[in-house]
Amino acid sequence: MKSDIEKKIYRAQSIGNVEPIEYMVPYPNTSSLIEGQNIKFSEQLLYQEPKITNVDFYKLIQQTSNWLDSLNIKPKERVVLPDLGSPQTEILLYGIWRLGASAILSKPNDIKNNKSVFKGSYIIRDDIDLFSKISIFSEKFRPKHNALLDEEALTNYIGETSIKLSHYNLLVNTNGTKKLLKINSGIRFSCDLKPIDSSWVILKVLLPIYCGAIYSTARTDISISETDNKATYLVRRDINNFGNLKNNHIGICLENTAVLCLGNKPIHLTDIVKKEDFLKINGHSVMMGYADKSRNKESFKENCLCIKLNNIIC
């Protein structure tokens, strides 16, 4: 039976009469995404440099899961994700999900300065060569636990605030982002975000695979950047300016998984009302909640997620 706060969160995740359970994403969890795409695009390049096809990527994920299992990491355990560079970091994240575990993303200094917060979580060192570590392991892996859509897949740890996201959150936000950005199969795609929070997960890790795009840094059809004003899409974290964003600006709100809007158009299955000093958000991308229970009580009310504009985590 759901607690009162879980019921409030669920009401905030509903939009109109459409509850999360009524909108079907095509995958049962994030790790199954690469399996599904291999049926369509197995021999298509996923990474231009180094050259990695979808099926190569899947095999590397399988090896990674076997390596993580050898470290005695258990399903549902939280694993702190280091920045190993691309595509090693992306492969490691999928390997964590394939194992049935959950990832924590944070800035490196936050991890070093707040080790007590990560007590009980497995911390992978940031100086390893993943390809070397996994080279001896089998390309076949049978998960001991296949995560459900409503299970935790990711935690953002930002400025001593923990935001929990489910597999459904990640997949439905990616699905909505695809609809907004209109990225099609075979398009060459780039993104310069760093692996410090779920905006990287949606825009750099999940989106290219979900769309059947090819990740490239040399010649691109579509680029997403937080710093380059010449990019096709510019990431904006100052969501207090919602209502005044340009049409190619991607508004980020981590409490809404990652992508909140393109320009002033909300992501699919999301409703936004801007008041003088807060946003009211309803929709399927609304987070599982903060780790801080008292903050959940303050934020989930009036059947929606209410976020003070000066407290938005980005």
- Could you tell me the residue ranges of all domains in the chain? 28-270
**pLDDT at residue 264, rounded to an integer:** 94
**pLDDT at residue 16, rounded to an integer:** 87
Kindly tell me if the per-residue pLDDT of 253 is higher than 90: yes
As given in the structure block, the two tokens for residue 68 are 């993580």
pLDDT band at 110 (very low <50, low <70, confident <90, very high): confident
pLDDT band at 314 (very low <50, low <70, confident <90, very high): low
pLDDT digits (tens, 9 = 90+) for 63-90: 999 999 999 999 999 999 999 999 999 9
Nearest to 169 by CA among 6, 13, 310, 7: 13
> Which residues on adjacent β-strands are paired with residue 162?
157
Whether 80 and 63 have beta carbons less than 8 Å apart is answered as no
Round the average pLDDT of the chain to a whole number and report it: 94
As to burial, measured by CB atoms within 10 angstroms (0-12 exposed, 13-18 middle, 19+ buried), residue 295 is middle
55 vs 160, higher pLDDT: 55
Whether 280 and 305 have beta carbons less than 8 Å apart is answered as yes
60 vs 37, higher pLDDT: 60
| Cα distance between residue 200 and residue 194, in whole Å | 6
| b (16+ CB within 10 A) / e for 114-147 | eeebbeebbebeeeeebeebbeebeeebebeeeb
pLDDT band at 159 (very low <50, low <70, confident <90, very high): confident
**pLDDT at residue 115, rounded to an integer:** 72
Homologous superfamily, domain 28-270: ANL, N-terminal domain (3.40.50.12780)
Kindly tell me if the per-residue pLDDT of 174 is higher than 70: yes
As given in the structure block, the two tokens for residue 17 are 């009469």
**pLDDT at residue 313, rounded to an integer:** 62
Kindly tell me if the per-residue pLDDT of 32 is higher than 80: yes
> Which residues on adjacent β-strands are paired with residue 271?
282
pLDDT band at 276 (very low <50, low <70, confident <90, very high): confident
pLDDT digits (tens, 9 = 90+) for 230-247: 999 999 999 889 999 999
As to burial, measured by CB atoms within 10 angstroms (0-12 exposed, 13-18 middle, 19+ buried), residue 48 is middle
| Cα distance between residue 66 and residue 62, in whole Å | 6
pLDDT band at 100 (very low <50, low <70, confident <90, very high): very high
pTM, entire model: 0.96
Percent of the chain with pLDDT over 70: 99
